[in-house]
Amino acid sequence: MLEISNNSLKNKVNLKGFSSFRRLEDTERFKIFSRLLKGFSVFILILLFLPWTQNIRGKGAVTTLTPDQRPQQIQTVIAGRIERWYVREGDRVEKGDTILYMSEVKDDYFDLALIERTQGQVDAKNEKVVAYQAKVSALANQKSALIQELALKKEQAQNKLIQAQLSAQSDSIELIAAKLERNIAQTQLDRTQNLFDQGLKAVTDVEDKKLKFQSAQAKTIAQENKWLSSKNSIINARVDLVRLAAEYGEKIAKAESEQMSARSDRSESEADVYKLQNQMSNYQTRKDLRYVLAPRDGYINKIAPAGIGETLKEGEEVATILPELVDLAVETYIRPIDIPLVRIGTHVQILFDGWPTVVFSGWPGISYGTFGGKVVAIENNISANGMYRLLIAPDDPDQDWPEVRVGSGAQTLALLDDVPIWFELWRNLNGFPPNYYQPNLKENDQKK
């Protein structure tokens, strides 16, 4: 039949009797099929050489570019009981608007006049501080007066010492004169006595010289006694100087001790004042914290507590606020094997959940419903799901992203090199990674 053997059956067997062979003899159909097959083969061959954009797929969610634009929990700072709500879910609030009001649940803060009474304690302590300050000033004046008095007393005692020294010096000179006079009287007495023994002087002359000698002797003794008294005056003046230094030193030390004690009491009172002022400031701040305020402009998303009368703990969530204006971004996760291929600035195509899209992953130019973005941050540490986190922001300010909400899902295609389709098929069949890709950054981005 196929005439591939030397023993032909063409003339031995009548094939006309079989309908299938009669149909095979219709060569026109084979020609059409052959042309279609050739055309399809040419089409496939051309298709294999068409460009294909390599990409890395990822899944993520819509978030914000900066942390302060993400949904934020409003928490209580103090414990309390809910007394009144000022907002409902979905309300728009501005920064500083009141969310709710709480009453105290701790007995330390039940007093309605707590701040006023604390202020009274502060005033009383301030008066005590003023009194101690006055005492310190008075003791300082007393110390100054004692120092001045000591200086005058020392000068007075010094003058007495000088007077005693001069008096002793005068008495010493007079004692020398008295001794000289006594010696002269003694000499005259001896001379007169010799003349009397020779009969040349009368008895009255001898008695007169004896009287003069006795008088000179008595004057010498009196003058010596006076000189010793002057020496004692010098010693007493020196003792007075030492006594003055000790006496006034003790008084000054006592005044300094009382001054230091008054300063210590003043410092303790000032510390009590600061402590009370701090306590009063805490009371005032706590009073303001009974009102839970909106930390920023936005919309109240979720109110956690049930209602009036419910008790809240410190740091308990009250509500969630969504910022009014946010810079949208997409956080997506890629496999660790693909992380070396991604750089800051890599172009990404994003598919938002709920937004109609027609996607050709290898031909982003003809896809519909995708939005452009670029990688602005790559997490250095692997996430809990075993993948790396990327943060993607819009790359074209003229093309706005659709009105999607924070938290909605998104799929991403990180675009890499353009390669032929046959290369991409060959790469996937062999399990090779995409080509190493380095995005073309602008000069300003490179500088950054």
Is the entire prediction scored with pTM above 0.85? no
Query: Taking the domain 72-104+290-323, which CATH number applies?
Result: 2.40.50.100
User: Sorting pLDDT into bands at 50, 70 and 90, what band is 398?
Assistant: low
Task: Judge whether residue 447 has pLDDT over 50.
Answer: no
More confident residue, 395 or 445: 395
Residue ranges per structural domain of the chain? 1-48, 52-69+326-447, 72-104+290-323, 114-289
Q: 354-365 pLDDT, tens per residue?
A: 777 766 666 666
Which of 21-35, 182-196, 197-211, 294-308 shows the lowest per-residue confidence on average (mean pLDDT)? 21-35
- Tell me the residue type at 179: K
Question: Which of the residue ranges 36-45, 258-267, 423-432 has the most confident prediction, judged by mean pLDDT?
Answer: 258-267
* Range name among 284-293, 310-319, 353-362, 412-421 with the lowest pLDDT average: 353-362
Domain 114-289 matching CATH 1.10.287.620: the answer reads: yes
pLDDT of residue 443: 45
In angstroms, the CA 409 to CA 332 distance is: 10
pLDDT, residue 90, reads: 85
pLDDT digits (tens, 9 = 90+) for 81-126: 999 999 988 889 998 899 999 988 888 888 888 888 888 888 998 8
Is the pLDDT confidence value at 23 over 70?
no
CATH classification of 52-69+326-447, choosing from 3.90.1640.10, 2.40.30.170, 3.40.309.10, 3.30.450.40?
A: 2.40.30.170
What is the per-residue pLDDT for 97?
92
pLDDT at 418: 66
Mean pLDDT to the nearest integer, 286-312:
86
